[in-house]
Chains A and B, each alone.
Chain A
Amino acid sequence: MSVIKQPSRRAFLRGSAAVAAGAAGPVAAADSARRPDPLITELQDWTSYTGAGVDETPYGLPIPFESDVIRRNVEWLTASPIASVNFTPLHALDGTITPQGCAFERHHSGAIMLRKEDYRLMINGLVDRPLVFTYEDIERFPRENHVYFCECAANTGMEWAGAQLNGVQFTHGMIHNMEYTGVPLRLLLREAGARTDDNLWLYAEGADASSNGRSIPMAKAVDDCLVAFKANGEALRMEHGYPVRLVVPGWEGNMWVKWLRRIEIVDTAVESREETSKYTDVYEDGIARKWTWVMDAKSVITSPSPQRPVRHGPGPMVISGLAWSGHGRIARVDVSGDGGITWQTARLGKQGDTKALTRFYLDTVWDGAPMLLQARAIDETGYVQPAKDRLREKRGKNAVYHNNCIQTWYLNSDGLAENVEVS
């Protein structure tokens, strides 16, 4: 017991130095400890002094040590941060649920602050009864819970032109995955006596200055769309459409209209700016694809990745990543370490939900040799995520949207990963 001393500032400093060395050095501390670890043998401040009281943090934020786990933007991508995008820190997250505070944002005229009291939702057009709902009205409809991914159609869009930004946050971070609480859209339609013939459209519009509006075919609208007001158990965040947004499972994020203020039943697609000038895919011959709504199966390794180098050196290693498909459930994920010559089937963290992120793991032993890491998603319809060059053969390089190709990280023997393209 003689080693236990009074806690001191110096002991604390020594303690944190030991942590820093342990984190940076490639040698695992466990089998190389020759001297007793002061973090164990010396009384630490946190073990001696009392911590924060329950009245200190009425709504908690992540501990300061995690302050690098944040959304990040790339300034030069757009003319103004108000009509722009930032990216989810996928490299630092695990499991499948994206915390709202670091879930990517995409606005066309900025995120607005709209009070529940000022919220109105109108349904008009080809309906028997044009109606106006308040926020409270929405909460009186029967509601459901579903986990869904929301992916911007432009996620990975830069990569059409080749390996661009070095980080999974930037190549794949225009996606988040939340548990929504909301009213099935068809209940609101029924309420207004909307015509729901298959040849009709639902035009959904937001209350912000971009008045983003998208046409949704009726079959989808009455199938699984939700008018959501909660995400991950709490109110939506301002940047995700507080107080009410549309959820269009498996389909491109731009259709998930935020600050949803109006639903119009129409006999034609509106052909709004967001479904003509944007969110249409120009193929090599200059002909554009419109109404490319569904997000095809896709996956990416989040660790190791450029922002998550391997620090522990050779030995046991977990390769981890995310897979998803707008067509349904993820059936399987394969991982390759040699750029696609050989594949091995990964383990799913848990059986994934339909149209939701699924976590996969490959538990392996790294021998320290360089690798070309790839993941390949296969969904329940048998769709296999295609290689980059094969997707380019079909579409060229100018499609901007819907790039769901296989991503490659080159892991060198120092454990550093880089975004690359392979033959």
Chain B
Amino acid sequence: MLKYPSLPASAVGRVALIAGGACALAALEYNAGLAEAAMDAGRIPQARLAPAAAGPVAAPVPRFGGPLGIGRPALEEEIAAWDVDILPDGRGLPPGKGAVFTGETIFADKCASCHGDFGEGVDNWPVLAGGFDTLADEDPVKTVGSYWPHLSTVWDYISRSMPFGEAGTLTADETYAIVAYILYSNDMVDGDFVLSHENLADFEMYNRNGFVIDDRAVLEYGDWRADPCMSGCKETVEVTMRSVFLVNTPEEGGSESVMNRATIEGLPVFSANGPSFIPDARPGTGAVAAAATEESGEESTEDKADRLARDGERVFRKCRACHRVGPGAGNASGPHLNGLMGRVMGSVEGFNYSGGFRAAREQGRVWDETSLEAFLTSPGEFMKGTKMSFSGLGKKGEQEAIRAYLGRFREE
């Protein structure tokens, strides 16, 4: 079927004129815009060198109106060879026909090795049949039958792009027959069905009404184009899922993915009154800077204890990713720290300590000011091989503050 029967015959003549050789360009009727652009082009060197020239030098190509006389007319045979796409209303279809029965044989011969005898798909190759009523499911099965809205697309794609590795080798009749067979394998036609250029465009596909035009602008953009929240945007944040696959990237290229066995247990919980996590690169700022400022003047012992505990609460933000304290606190990726002072090292029930801490418990070593300070200054030096990967508390006043804070939580 001719796609553009209305194309004026004179068009070809005009093309010949335009592309008629080197002098064609000069013979062209430029419109005013183009003539101007051509003149501009002559002036460009001066214009650009002028020191006073303001504004950007970069500019898009001029928007002139007429053709330049580049290219040659496409011949009818050439257009016929390349313009083979089929429009939804069937324009572009070559005359021909094919029956389900014929299609079955061709499909078995040319397509089934990948797509299966009935379009069910071999291994990972595309499935062409079935999947009806699955589009709203967890894993929709999108096939020619269940998903494709137009039959023209099936004909168009197969005739141009299949079989994979030998595209463009099917005759029109073969293509009609194969498409008829794919419809049959989808239970959409009977075994005696014959498809042709006459009935293809009218064939109603199962999912013809299953598509709407992009409506993100209506459904979403209003919501997304809102002032973004900067702080206190959520109460707490927890990891709800970890990567399903860990990926190795070997020297030789490609990748190897292995299942990730790690669970979300023990991962830290982030909370709204936590540290504003990303300190500036400026030196001297940070969560505990306040704790380090020397207090001057009189202060009662009670006030001082309170102040230290408050500072300590802030210091504890560094520990909170791994430790819990307070009523009902349990183990996280580190043991709970209730009643720490005077507690036997490595002694919390149900926590799987490293060897050093297990040995310390055997020896009955107990946490006190000195040992805790040593441990928190440099965990690895105090306890060889400890699992606590923490770089240590180095800032002035942090140690005293954390002791004051932890001291408020008794063993339950």
Contacts and interface: CB of A to CB of B under 8 A. Distances in A.
B153 interface: yes
B226 interface: yes
A203 B73 contact: no
A371 B237 CA distance: 11
A129 B82 contact: no
Given A72-B249, A137-B70, A418-B243, A282 B135 contact: yes
Given A342-B231, A363-B281, A140 B251 contact: no
A339 B321 CA distance: 13
Interface stretch (B44-52, B188-196, B268-276): B268-276
Interface in A285-336: 285-293, 296, 306-307, 313-314, 316, 319, 334-336
Given A67-B251, A79-B124, A422 B237 contact: yes
Given A166-B247, A423-B237, A277 B211 contact: no
Interface stretch (A34-42, A53-61, A157-165): A157-165
A17 to B, nearest CB: 20
B16 to A, nearest CB: 9
Contacts of B360: none
Contacts of B57: none
B225 A381 contact: yes
Indicate the member of B8, B85, B88, B219 with the most A CB atoms within 10 Å.
Answer: B85
B74 A124 contact: yes
Contacts of A104: none
Contact of B213 (A290, A398, A421): A290
Contacts of B294: none
B26 interface: no
A68 B249 contact: yes
Contacts of A129: 11-12, 14-15, 18, 67, 73
Interface in A108-144: 108-109, 122-133, 137, 140-144
A268 interface: yes
Given A133-B70, A364-B278, A420-B241, A73 B255 contact: yes
Interface in B134-148: 135-140, 142, 144, 147-148
A162 B225 contact: no
Contacts, number: 360
Given A72-B249, A286-B135, A290-B214, A339 B270 contact: yes
A148 to B, nearest CB: 15
A122 B70 contact: no
A93 interface: no
Given A72-B255, A210-B161, A144 B70 contact: no
Interface stretch (A7-15, A184-192, A231-239, A241-249): A184-192
Contact of A342 (B214, B253, B276): B276
B27 interface: no
B280 interface: yes
Contacts of B3: 125, 266
A277 B60 CA distance: 37
A419 interface: yes
Contacts of B220: 386, 394
A362 interface: yes
A337 B278 contact: yes
Nearest to B264: A420
Contact of B278 (A170, A362, A390): A362
B179 to A, nearest CB: 13
A79 B114 CA distance: 9
Interface in A366-423: 367-372, 376, 378, 381-386, 390, 394, 397-398, 410, 412-414, 418-423
Question: Chain B binding site: helix, strand, loop or mixed by DSSP?
Answer: loop
A203 B85 contact: yes
Interface residues of B, number: 120
Nearest to B256: A75
A240 interface: no
A285 B241 CA distance: 25
A339 B139 CA distance: 29
Nearest to B246: A166
Contacts of B278: 319, 335-337, 342, 344, 362, 364
Contact of A334 (B228, B254, B272): B228
A413 B135 contact: no
B149 interface: yes
A273 B240 CA distance: 37
Contacts of A335: 278
Nearest to A376: B228
B249 A167 contact: yes
A342 B14 CA distance: 66
B261 interface: no
B253 A420 contact: no
A262 B228 contact: no
Contacts of A420: 239-243
B216 interface: yes
Contact of A397 (B138, B249, B276): B138
A189 B267 CA distance: 58
A423 B279 contact: no
A83 B164 contact: yes
6 contacts: A131-B15, A132-B73, A277-B144, A289-B211, A290-B214, A307-B249
Q: Which 10 A-B pairs have the closest CB atoms?
A: A286-B136, A339-B237, A286-B135, A337-B277, A142-B61, A79-B124, A129-B15, A130-B74, A419-B243, A273-B157
Interface of B: 3-4, 7-8, 11-12, 14-15, 18-19, 60-62, 65-68, 70-74, 78-79, 82-83, 85-89, 114, 123-126, 135-140, 142, 144, 147-150, 152-153, 156-157, 160-161, 164-165, 167-168, 207, 210-216, 219-221, 223-226, 228-234, 236-247, 249, 251, 253-255, 257, 260, 267-268, 270-272, 274-281, 286, 317-318, 321-322, 389-391
Given A126-B7, A142-B62, A307-B249, 4 more contacts: A129-B18, A190-B67, A273-B156, A413-B390
